[in-house]
Chain A
Amino acid sequence: MAILVIAEHNNGVLAGATLNTVAAAQKIGGDVAVLVAGQNVGAVAEAAAKVAGVSKVLVADNAAFAHLLPENVAPLIAELAKDYSHVLAPATTNGKNYLPRVAALLDVDQISEIIEVIDADTFKRPIYAGNAIATVQSSAAVKVITVRTTGFDAVAAEGGSATIEPVSIGGDAGKSAFVGEELAKSDRPELTAAKIVVSGGRGMQNGENFKLLYALADKLGAAVGASRAAVDAGFVPNDMQVGQTGKIVAPQLYIAVGISGAIQHLAGMKDSKVIVAINKDEEAPIFQVADYGLVADLFEAVPELEKLV
Chain B
Amino acid sequence: MKVLVAVKRVVDYNVKVRVKSDNSGVDLANVKMSMNPFCEIAVEEAVRLKEKGVASEIVVVSVGPSAAQEQLRTALALGADRAILVETNEELNSLAVAKLLKAVVDKEQPQLVILGKQAIDSDNNQTGQMLAALTGFAQGTFASKVEVAGDKLNVTREIDGGLQTVALTLPAIVTTDLRLNEPRYASLPNIMKAKKKPLETVTPDALGVSTASTVKTLKVEAPAPRQAGIKVKSVAELVEKLKNEAKVI
Contacts and interface: CB of A to CB of B under 8 A. Distances in A.
A287 B229 CA distance: 8
Contact of A244 (B123, B158, B218, B238): B123
Given A138-B214, A245-B177, A274-B246, A133 B223 contact: yes
B162 A181 contact: yes
A176 B138 contact: yes
Secondary structure at chain A's binding surface: helix, strand, loop or mixed? mixed
A275 interface: yes
Given A122-B218, A239-B160, A239-B162, A295 B134 contact: no
Contacts of B142: 93, 97
Contact of B215 (A74, A140, A270, A290): A140
B223 A126 contact: yes
A299 B137 CA distance: 51
A292 to B, nearest CB: 6
B126 A100 contact: yes
B185 interface: no
B94 A100 contact: yes
Interface residues of A, number: 89
Contacts of B11: 128
Nearest to A303: B235
B130 A103 contact: yes
A155 B31 CA distance: 43
A113 interface: yes
Contacts of A177: 166-167
B77 interface: no
A93 B223 contact: no
Contacts of B166: 67, 69, 176-179
B131 to A, nearest CB: 8
Nearest to A11: B161
A10 B164 CA distance: 13
Contacts of A304: 235
Given A94-B160, A135-B218, A136-B216, 17 more contacts: A93-B159, A100-B130, A103-B126, A104-B133, A109-B214, A128-B26, A134-B220, A175-B136, A177-B167, A178-B166, A181-B163, A245-B178, A252-B248, A253-B242, A274-B246, A276-B238, A291-B226
19 contacts: A10-B161, A94-B160, A98-B129, A101-B130, A126-B123, A131-B17, A139-B216, A140-B215, A184-B162, A237-B162, A245-B117, A253-B249, A270-B223, A289-B226, A292-B230, A293-B230, A293-B232, A294-B234, A309-B239
Interface of A: 10, 67, 69-71, 74, 92-94, 96-105, 107-113, 122, 126-140, 174-184, 192, 196, 220, 228, 231-232, 237-239, 244-245, 247, 252-253, 263-264, 270, 273-276, 282, 287, 289-296, 301, 304-305, 308-309
